[in-house]
Amino acid sequence: MKKCIIPSGYENKLSLFETEVSIKKVKDFFQNSIAYELNLTRISAPLFLSDTSGLNDNLNGYERPVGFDIKTIPGEFSVVHSLAKWKRMALKKYEFPMHAGLYADMNAIRRDEDELDPLHSIYVDQWDWELIIKKEERNLEFLKKIVKRIFRSLQKTEKYINREYPLLSEKLPEDIFFITSQELEDAYPDLTPKERENAIAKKYKAVFISQIGKILKSGEKHDGRAPDYDDWDLNGDLIVWYEPLQCALELTSMGIRVSEESLAKQLTIAGAEDRRELPFHKALLNKELPYTIGGGIGQSRICLFFLEKIHIGEVQASVWPKEMIDHYKKSGIKFL
């Protein structure tokens, strides 16, 4: 409960009903904007996958998926953690052309979330997107170009929702700042990774931290990444400074996906070479899949940010400890 402090003078600018209406407005506007900016088509996506497919996102490697069996189909199945690998297979299956891509609504259950707090829930809702690119576009400059397009969609969404609700304020800067995880460690060597994010986000308001998952000079990682979807040299997190909670807020994690070369390298580093025999990994190593860039954009996260809420439970329906619900309710803050 220490992390669930309600800022002094906090006032909920939208009623519960207005909040529900505004959530839809934010989501509808942003997904249309990002689809236009990145040339994406919405497709249907699975809620669960077979455990033998190798397509579920392994996140940091220790999180347990929610598993179950099916009465009429043999084998075990798990609710997705994300669609990071599934999307790349779908692009091939649906025969998307070069520089076109897909996005889908992704819903997940992350039961091993370390701590439920104003920014973290066991329920994850995001737009998972993936775009086909040329192999020669697998570079930092192309990554930055796509990040700037996503940031432009965020800026457009903020302007739109603030016109709809004039009580809301502008929070995004004119430009986004780029920094690598190593440059960030060099700038703040005495801080933890999370403290570094807070420091850089407070300074620049919107930041893209690249090269997540690599071992830094300190011998530590800025954050964990599975070895089989993002290229650790060409990925990153887009974070913003969120004044009501005085913290950095990650809105999207994304990256240029592994090539056959970087997949082999990262599987070795991670001690996960057994995954080479899974269908997805075999196809990628045999150069049967397109080169792509993709990511996940938090739906509840951007609603929290644009609607100026202080707990993600105000913009998504999930489960929370009773004492947390009661703590916020005393101040007139209602969870969905």
**Residues classed as catalytic:** 57, 110, 126, 237, 250, 253
Sheet with 40-42, side-by-side order of all strands: 40-42, 101-109, 123-132, 292-298, 247-257, 230-242, 206-210, 177-180
Pull the structure tokens for residue 66: 């929610």
Sheet with 73-79, side-by-side order of all strands: 48-50, 73-79, 67-70
Q: How many angstroms separate the CA atoms of 305 and 160, rounded?
A: 14
Q: What are phi and psi of 237, to 5 degrees?
A: -120, 135
Q: How many angstroms separate the CA atoms of 292 and 229, rounded?
A: 10
DSSP state of 39: T
Long-range contacts at 313-322 (CB < 8 A, ≥ 24 apart): 313/121, 314/12, 314/19, 315/19, 315/23, 316/121, 316/123, 316/125, 317/123, 318/121, 318/122, 318/123, 319/122, 319/123, 320/116, 320/121, 321/116
Pull the structure tokens for residue 333: 């803050």
